[in-house]
Amino acid sequence: MDAAFKAKFGVDIELVTAPGPQNASRIASEQKAGVQYFDALIVGTGTALSLAHGGMLESIEPNMVLAEVKDPKNWWGGHIWEDNLKTKRFLYSFIAEVGTGGLWYNSTLAKPEELRSLDDFLNPKWKGRIGLSDPRVPGSGQSLWSLCWELKGEDFLRKLVQQNLFVSRDLRQIADALAKSKLALTMGAGHSQYEPFINSGLPVKQLPTPKEGLPASNGYGIVGIVKNPPHPNGAKLFLNWLLSREGQEFYGKVMKSSTRRLDVDTKWLAEFGTQAAKDTLTLDEYNRLRNHLEDKYTKVRLPAAEFAEQILK
C-alpha cells in the first residue's frame, strides 16, 4: 500500500500492521499521553467501535471530498456506516462479503463431507484438533463464535469448548498448526494467513459453507480517521484514495476482499472462496445475515464475547 500510494501521489506513508486490538490499545494510550502518531486506520468491527465509543475518531463525512467517493450511487447499498446507532458517522464500511472465510481444514486429516454442519465440529474425533481465534477479542473468531451463540445457543458452545480447543490470538500460529497437521480444523483464521501455505502446496483448504450458513461480514473493511491527526491533509488524501475506484481495486486484490463499489469487479474472488455480497445477496438478505454494524455488534457480538470470557480459561 505504501508503494502504491507513493507512486500515485509522491507522498510517503508508514503502514503499521498489527492485530486490530493492538493498534487500538496503542492509539488509546497515545491519546491519553497527548501523543498524536496515527492519522488513519483500517480495521474490523470490534476495534473500530471501541475507538469510536472512546471518542478517539474524527467524523468521516467532512473528509470525503471526491465526487466518486461521496456519491452513494457508486456503492452497493449506498453509504453504510459502521456506527449506525449514532449520527456523527466516524466509521465507513467499504467491504461486504458472504461468510467470514474463517473455516479451514487439513485435507490429510479431514474431509469436507464430514463437516457439513456446525454440529459436526462436536464429533469426538476432532477433540484436541480444533484451533479457534480467541473470541474474547474482536476478530473473525469472535464473529464465528457469535454466530454459534445466536444460532446454536450456549449449550452448543459449552460442548465445543469441551473439544479441548486450541485458542490463540496469533492467527499465524493457528494457520501454521493446521498446515503442519497439528490441527485438523480451524475457526477464525482467514485467507491472508493461509495464503503462504497454499502457495507452498501444503494441505490447507477452506471448508464449504455449513448448512447453518455464515454471517455476512465486512472483514477488515472499515476505515476511520484518528482524532486530531498529525497530518490532516494526508489523512484526507489517503481516505479518498482508498475509497476511490482505484483504491478499492487495489485493496480488494491484495486482501482478497469484496468492495461494495459497484464499478469494481468482484466475481473473480470466488476462486479464493470469497463471495461479494453485491454479487450474491439482496440488501434484505444482507441485513438479515450481517454480523457487523453497531446494532448487531451490541446485541449479539458483545454478549457472545462475554459468554466466552465466562467459559474459556
Average pLDDT for consecutive 10-residue bins of the chain (313 residues)?
A: 91 87 88 90 88 92 97 97 88 88 92 97 98 90 91 97 96 96 95 91 93 85 95 96 97 94 95 87 88 90 95 90
pLDDT for the residue 140:
83
Count other C-beta atoms under 10 Å from residue 12's C-beta. 9
Per-residue pLDDT at 101: 62
Q: Of 190, 166, 162, which is closest to residue 177 (Cα–Cα)?
A: 166
Helix (H, G, I), strand (E, B) or coil at 208: coil
Amino acid 100 reads T
The reported pLDDT for the residue numbered 143 is: 85
Give phi and psi for 139, each to the nearest 5: 155, -175
Can you give the pLDDT at residue 113?
Answer: 96
Q: 222 with 117, same domain?
A: no
8-state DSSP, 297: I
How many C-beta neighbours within 10 Å does residue 243 have? 26
Say if residue 183 is in the same domain as residue 271.
Answer: no
18: in domain: yes
140-151 and 154-161 helices cross at what angle (nearest 10)? 130
Instruction: Supply the range of the domain harboring residue 106.
Output: 100-214
The candidate with the shortest Cα–Cα distance to 77, out of 247, 257, 260, is 260
193 with 109, same domain: the answer is: yes
Q: Is residue 302 part of a domain?
A: no
Q: In the structure grid, which three cell numbers stand for residue 65, read together?
A: 471530498
Give CA 4 to chain center in angstroms. Answer: 22
End-to-end CA distance of the chain: give it in Å, rounded. 38
Q: What is the Cα–Cα distance from 229 to 37, expressed in whole angstroms?
A: 7
Coil, strand or helix at 75: strand
Is residue 128 located within the same domain as residue 205?
yes
How far, in Å, CA of 234 to CA of 242, rounded? 12
Whether 300 is covered by a domain: the verdict is no
Alpha-carbon span 206 to 272, nearest angstrom: 9
| Nearest-10 crossing angle of helices 20-32, 45-53 | 10
Tell whether 278 is covered by a domain: yes
CATH of residue 132: 3.40.190.10
Q: Say if 296 falls within a structural domain.
A: no
Q: How many Cβ atoms from other residues are within 10 Å of residue 17's Cβ?
A: 8
Number of domains in the chain: 2
Burial of 72: CB neighbours in 10 Å, binned 0-12, 13-18, 19+:
exposed
Question: Is 310 part of any domain?
Answer: no
Residue 312 lies in a domain: no
**Looking at the structure, do residues 226 and 209 belong to the same domain, yes or no?**
no
Whole-number pLDDT of residue 100: 57
Q: What pLDDT score does 213 carry?
A: 81
Same domain assignment for residues 210 and 104: yes
Whether 201 and 56 map to the same domain: the answer is no
**How, if at all, do strands 103-106 and 204-206 pair?**
antiparallel
Residues 107, 84 within the same domain? no
Q: Which residues contact 22 (CB under 8 A, 6 or more apart)?
A: none
Does 26 map to a domain?
Answer: yes
For residues 181 and 208, state if they share a domain: yes
In this structure, are 110 and 247 located in the same domain? no
Alpha helices in the chain (DSSP H): 2-9, 20-32, 45-53, 67-70, 140-151, 154-161, 171-179, 191-199, 232-243, 245-255, 277-280, 283-289, 294-296, 302-311
